[in-house]
A and B are shown apart, each in its own frame.
Chain A
Amino acid sequence: MNINLTLIGQMVAFVIFVWFCMKYVWPPILAAMAEREQKIADGLAAADRASHDLELAQEKAVERLKEAKEEAAGIIDAANKRANQLVEEAKDAAVAEADRVKASAQAEIELEANRAREQLRSQVAALSLAGAEKVLGAAIDQNAHADLVEKLASEL
């Protein structure tokens, strides 16, 4: 139990070991630990960010899908509308054409009828003149009775 030079020796050894630890042991180990801590923290943050990004992307995809569906529906709608419109237009055009054809046919018919009537009238004039001649037994001056005949013909 003697206190002796061992005390001094231990103090010197203590100083040397503490110095050694301070110089060569503590800094590299702590640096490695801090670096790893940073790395893990970064990794976790990256994972967080990735999952957040994924969520965003999913949201975006859903939105895109919705948009696309809406757009498609719009296009189909427009196409339907356009088709209807075309049908409508075609119908209108057909009706118009039919009307036009009918009108021209009617005009022709009228023309023909008029012509026939004119022909008939002129023939009626001649016939009535001939009849009257026969009845009267004399010739009727065509010129003298022209207005009479004309009047008759127009009453037909």
Chain B
Amino acid sequence: MAASGETQTVSEYIVHHLTNLTYGKLPAGFERHGADGVHVVPEGGVWTFAHGGAEASAMGFTAIHVDSMLWSIGLGVIFCWLFTRVAKKASSGVPSGMVNAFEMIVGFVDNTVKDTFHGHNKLIAPLALTIFVWVFLMNLMDLIPVDLVPHLLMLVGVPYQKIVPSTDPNITMGMAVGVFILMLYYSIKVKGFGFVKELTLNPFNHPLFIPINLFMEVVGLLAKPFSLGLRLFGNMYAGEMIFILIAALFSAGIAWMVPAGLLQIGWAIFHILVITLQAFIFMVLTIVYLSMAHEDH
């Protein structure tokens, strides 16, 4: 449990673990409740780190989750670094241990793309590889004990830290929206006017039904990025929540240590499956959606 000096209730502990380190612009007139009284944000607002969920909410859209962003980009850089190293080492000779392992991942992604996507597009396979490995690495952060990094950072003065980027809907939806934009781009590029027809003359092929068709198709289209992003977010958030609850169980007394430890181990082992599966699902759905965008009926 994070020992923040004074004693915390379990709900405070959980809320603390679910709060991002947010940097943003507080609107003018917002009252900040600090240890040394109440400050009112002056005219024009102020850019600062949020202390607590209320301030983060007040920042609205003009805020950024520093922890999510840094972990996400950091893991992306690790992905690029690892695979660039492999790309440099890879030759037609006998592959060594690490190259072999990474080539297996590349080969697996390549096969999945070839099975699902039948068009010709040089973007799809690298996109799928990036999604798979990056999402996997982000999910993998979930297996690090929940208190370890936030607590260590708290000792050096960072008040909040969420180290699993994929438990932040901004991160998952950011990727889902990116995929959605690609879907729209390729739909228009490949189908042209056929895309409009698909949206208006399906499933009822009659001019009178155009509004109904359009409504249904647009809802169906919008459901794709939402299901993509929220599925990953939901799974990871729930997994993280259970880790936090198990961690909170440790504080319930000596008698709870052993069951909590067993639960922790059990859930972590099960979670290895979940994080891999979620990364795989995100990748496969991306390929499927883009494949649908390429199919001209």
Chain B residue nearest in CB terms to A10: B174
Query: Known: A6-B171, A29-B103. Contact between A24 and B177, CB under 8 A?
Result: no
Say whether B174 contacts A32, CB under 8 Å.
no
Chain A residue nearest in CB terms to B24: A4
Q: Is A136 among interface residues, defined by CB-CB distance under 8 A?
A: no
If over half of A's interface residues share one DSSP class (helix, strand or loop), that class is named, otherwise mixed; here it is helix
Which chain A residues border B125 with CB–CB below 8 Å? 26, 30
Residues of A within 8 A of B (CB): 1-11, 13-18, 20-22, 24-26, 28-30, 32-33, 35-36, 38-39
Which of B88, B106, B126 makes the CB contact (< 8 A) with A18?
Answer: B126
Mask, B73-88, CB within 8 Å of A = 1, is 1001001100110111
Chain A residue nearest in CB terms to B123: A22
If over half of B's interface residues share one DSSP class (helix, strand or loop), that class is named, otherwise mixed; here it is helix
Chain B residue nearest in CB terms to A14: B178
Residues of B within 8 A of A (CB): 22, 24, 56-57, 59-65, 68-69, 72-73, 76, 79-80, 83-84, 86-88, 90-93, 95, 102-103, 106-107, 110, 122-123, 125-127, 129-130, 134, 168-171, 173-175, 177-178
- What's the minimum C-beta distance from B11 to chain A, rounded to whole angstroms? 16
25 sample A-B contacts, Cβ–Cβ < 8 Å, listed by A number: A2-B57, A2-B60, A4-B22, A5-B61, A5-B62, A6-B168, A10-B68, A13-B174, A14-B175, A16-B76, A18-B123, A18-B178, A21-B79, A21-B80, A25-B80, A25-B83, A25-B84, A25-B86, A29-B90, A29-B103, A29-B106, A33-B103, A36-B92, A36-B93, A39-B92
Which of B56, B122, B175 makes the CB contact (< 8 A) with A22?
Answer: B122
